[in-house]
Amino acid sequence: MSEQGFVVTPWEVTGVVDYERLIRDFGTQPISDKLGRRLEKVLGSASYLIRRRIFFSHRDLDLILDDYDHGRGFFLYTGRGPSGPMHIGHILSFYFTKWLQDKFQVNVYIQITDDEKFLEEKRNLSYQDTQNWAKENILDIIAAGFDPDRTFILQDTEFLGHAYPLVLKVARRINFSVVRAVFGFTNETNVGMLFYPSIQIIPSFLEKKRCLIPSAIDQDPYWRIQRDVAAPLGYQKAAAIHSKFLPPLTGFQDKMSSSKPETAIFLSDDDNTVRNKVYRYAFSGGQATIEEHRKLGGNPDIDVPFQWLYMFFEPGDSPIERIRADYRSGRMLTGELKDILIERITTFLHEHRARREKAADLVETFKREGALARTIWEMDFRDR
């Protein structure tokens, strides 16, 4: 991998990601000004994620908005691989998806890919590990505030059997050449992983409407396959909207990793831990001394605390631009910038965890008993 090189696959993100090149390599579309404005109009308070191009790339988002405008509707699908505790980087997509649900009033399907995380050999998780993390992660996902009657959380190991006829129909249309080309699978890849793409694209077929998938861009290879098999199976090609990765606390290299706690703020981190991590590890674009900083100013483009505020924690355009200007000019010191971030993160985590406290009572609703969950469990997949 060259110095400018980077790798983005569903199982690996290394290097410094060049998002423009990803758009070219993956064959997706940048969100144009016109398309961005169409979406911002509906999103209102959540529109900053589009305006700032934190969600920066898409497939067929224009068709989704057409479907919405013409009353045909659409639905949302996103997911989580339960391989460890969730951090700030993981939860961003879920909050965004929840905001999309609020604004568009649509159904959301959330897939918990516990089977994939077990099959992924290098993780070496026991089956029970994946079940424990699924349980924990689902509480965090519910805490994002989804509508219990319009949201179905499907955990693969529980749901696969029910949808198996449809999974088979999908699997019959994907061969080894395809998964090798799309995912870089090899002769040594286990047959569970080879089969797994047929499972990951199932939620996009749970309704005959068009599906919009908000996810980090590393998941896009699955949607490429979905778009190839959808039409012959009588479904619509999934649309997607891709987010950038919130950079690791330690700088723009690679992505936040649960196995390197210093790179991430976990949703369970207490106030002290948050404060210590940001102070100690957050990569700063500031100068070495206060004197130099006052004189030369900081560089917000490489400053992780600034980027986290920009990408998630400061929705207001005037405040964020004020921070940017103050920091660049040297009026705002690194410590002051970090304090702002710490305050935002701890407030966010307090609110998140307060909702998480109540989430346990809602698990059965989202998985089985809510209106949407019931509809899907009552569906006969032999006919689909």
Shortest reach from residue 135's CB to a second copy, in Å: 12
Q: Which two tokens stand for residue 128?
A: 């029970």
Question: Are the C-beta atoms of residues 151 and 94 closer than 8 Å to each other?
Answer: no
- Looking at the DSSP bridge assignments, the partners of residue 57 are 30, 242
Q: Which two tokens stand for residue 364?
A: 């059965």
76 vs 194 by CB, closer to a second copy: 194
96 vs 196 by CB, closer to a second copy: 196
Specify the 3-state DSSP secondary structure of 325. helix
115 vs 218 by CB, closer to a second copy: 115
216 vs 376 by CB, closer to a second copy: 376
Q: Specify the residue for token string 């090798």.
A: 180
Specify the 3-state DSSP secondary structure of 56. strand
Query: Minimal CA–CA distance to 236: which of 194, 206, 214?
Result: 206
Cα–Cα dist 353/91, whole Å? 12
Shortest reach from residue 302's CB to a second copy, in Å: 41
Cα–Cα dist 309/290, whole Å? 22
Question: Are the C-beta atoms of residues 313 and 92 closer than 8 Å to each other?
Answer: no
Cα–Cα dist 187/104, whole Å? 44
Specify the 3-state DSSP secondary structure of 51. helix
Shortest reach from residue 205's CB to a second copy, in Å: 14
- Looking at the DSSP bridge assignments, the partners of residue 266 are 87
127 vs 279 by CB, closer to a second copy: 127
Chain contacts with a second copy (rule: CB under 8 A): 115, 118-119, 121, 127-128, 131, 157, 160-162, 164-165, 168-169, 171-177, 179-180, 185-192, 194-195, 197-198, 382
Shortest reach from residue 364's CB to a second copy, in Å: 18
β-bridge pairing 12-15 and 6-9: antiparallel
231 vs 290 by CB, closer to a second copy: 231
Shortest reach from residue 218's CB to a second copy, in Å: 20
161 vs 335 by CB, closer to a second copy: 161
**Could you give the strand order of the β-sheet that contains 151-155, starting from the edge strand earlier in sequence?**
29-30, 55-59, 239-243, 210-216, 74-80, 108-112, 151-155
Cα–Cα dist 220/33, whole Å? 22
Q: What are phi and psi of 17, to 5 degrees?
A: -70, 130
Shortest reach from residue 134's CB to a second copy, in Å: 11
167 vs 240 by CB, closer to a second copy: 167
Shortest reach from residue 237's CB to a second copy, in Å: 20
- The H or E element that residue 321 is part of is helix 317-329
Cα–Cα dist 122/102, whole Å? 38
Shortest reach from residue 67's CB to a second copy, in Å: 29
Shortest reach from residue 122's CB to a second copy, in Å: 12
Query: Minimal CA–CA distance to 143: which of 374, 368, 369, 366?
Result: 366
Shortest reach from residue 198's CB to a second copy, in Å: 6
For residue 338, what are the CA distances in angstroms to 131, 299, 320, 344?
A: 36, 14, 14, 10
4 vs 128 by CB, closer to a second copy: 128
126 vs 318 by CB, closer to a second copy: 126
